[in-house]
A and B are shown apart, each in its own frame.
Chain A
């Protein structure tokens, strides 16, 4: 459902993403791992159509994001890193706005908003201004926005970042549940999350894939049987000269 073909992004002379190729099928939850600055967010921004790629293409449900961006974007639900929101709105107002911009109207809009509020357990804060919410609720509000139109593809940039352990668990369960019927790509720093929620994982470093496989396969690749050790072995540290 997500097919990334030789995707490349250069900022000036710096190559952030270097001919990345991978795919995510329906029913698959792909964990996207890598150190900070490895190009995870940039890749996600290209797949969602926010950044135009320097070269290569990404297809969502067979629709190229480069050639037919408007159509491809309707298939994607996206949670950006740091979960940006219009803070002057209420949760309900924000979700209604997002639903309207997704082309939902009338009762379809109403039920989509209700479903998203329900999925992300936001009922208690629905009429509250986003400005007054805690970080966990803000994060979930942004996640709800990504689920509104029941997209076939979900792209989540660090969906559990900044959440408490209970909230992390809930989000992982939600990802797992949604992953049964959708194609999900999510990035994370937390390696346990890979075992907890992913059916497959890739590790990227300096814009290139350095490891790819199911959590079991990745563990087998590691000399010590620990994902952390594998991660440390295949990725470079930012203290090294890039």
Chain B
């Protein structure tokens, strides 16, 4: 009930100010612009949205999702309204969930506003609308994860600019680290040539091999922190449990972290 009150206030604040409109318009310009230019939506002659449209979403979200969520706690801390919120009979958890859902709703509206491209692709060809829906789900989940991460950062600072820069950087890392060309480049960089691995004799060579293997593992693990793998499979129309769990746990950990930081700041 109180979560709903917080949610309504935050949503009202987004839409009574230019914030939500500006971000939705810029998102539409970017996503449509990229689809029709670099995405070669028309030229490819393919009735799908996977490459021309959804491919660009993580790149756009890494810039715009933090812009939506950066104020969530920074603003409260700067204006001192966090003191009001902290003395109202409402738990920090409800406030966090209410705020998160409000920011997510802004993105839901933004994504809903891209419906003309779905209509277009259906008019021009016969796409698999199930895959398109799955793409939208993937896109929304990436966005929610970035919103949650930004919220975590905003709990740490009262400065919105600092929050924006740090969150964009974190989201950027999450996008590029699992992005295929980058992952491949990293892979070739750390994997020793096969011949070298087969003929290991001396101690130094053995140590060097271990070092290589260690680094390769670190790279592999960090790649799995990237959004790309999980987003790509949803974008192809695969609704895998592991991806949903990944997005779900990223969001959950960020929200719990936000709660921990806010309580730690008071004591």
A residues apposed to B, CB below 8 Å: 45, 48-52, 70-71, 73-74, 76, 78, 80, 82, 84-89, 93, 97-98, 100-103, 145
Q: Which of A50, A73, A78, A89 contacts B266 (CB 8 A)?
A: A50
Cα A49 to Cα B13 in complex, Å, equals: 26
CB atoms of B90 and A49 under 8 A apart:
no
Q: Which of A51, A70, A93, A97 contacts B89 (CB 8 A)?
A: A70
Assess A86 versus B267: contact at CB under 8 Å? Given A101-B5, A145-B84.
Answer: no
CB atoms of B79 and A101 under 8 A apart:
no
CB atoms of A73 and B89 under 8 A apart:
yes
A100 contact set on B, CB distance < 8 A:
5
Residue of B whose beta carbon sits closest to that of A82: B80
Closest CB in chain A relative to B186 CB, distance in Å: 42
B125 within 8 A of A: no
Would you give 7 A-B contacts (Cβ < 8 Å), ordered by A?
Answer: A45-B83, A52-B266, A73-B88, A78-B84, A80-B83, A97-B5, A145-B84
Q: Which of A73, A76, A88 contacts B13 (CB 8 A)?
A: A88
Residue of B whose beta carbon sits closest to that of A84: B80
Known: A70-B91, A84-B83, A89-B9. 17 other contacts (CB 8 A): A45-B83, A49-B87, A50-B266, A52-B267, A80-B83, A84-B79, A84-B81, A85-B79, A85-B81, A86-B79, A97-B5, A98-B88, A101-B6, A101-B88, A101-B90, A103-B1, A103-B89
CB atoms of A86 and B81 under 8 A apart:
yes
CB atoms of B87 and A48 under 8 A apart:
yes
B86 within 8 A of A: yes
Q: Which chain B residues in 14-56 approach chain A with CB under 8 Å?
A: 16-17
CB atoms of B13 and A86 under 8 A apart:
yes
Q: Which of A49, A71, A98 contacts B86 (CB 8 A)?
A: A49
A45 contact set on B, CB distance < 8 A:
83
Closest CB in chain A relative to B265 CB, distance in Å: 10
CB atoms of B87 and A87 under 8 A apart:
no
Name which of A78, A84, A85 has the most chain B CB atoms within 10 A of its CB: A84
B267 contact set on A, CB distance < 8 A:
51-52
Residue of B whose beta carbon sits closest to that of A149: B89
A86 contact set on B, CB distance < 8 A:
9, 13, 79, 81
Residue of A whose beta carbon sits closest to that of B6: A101
B88 contact set on A, CB distance < 8 A:
73, 98, 101-102
Assess A89 versus B13: contact at CB under 8 Å? Given A50-B266, A51-B266, A101-B6.
Answer: yes
B206 within 8 A of A: no
B86 contact set on A, CB distance < 8 A:
49-50
A103 contact set on B, CB distance < 8 A:
1-2, 89
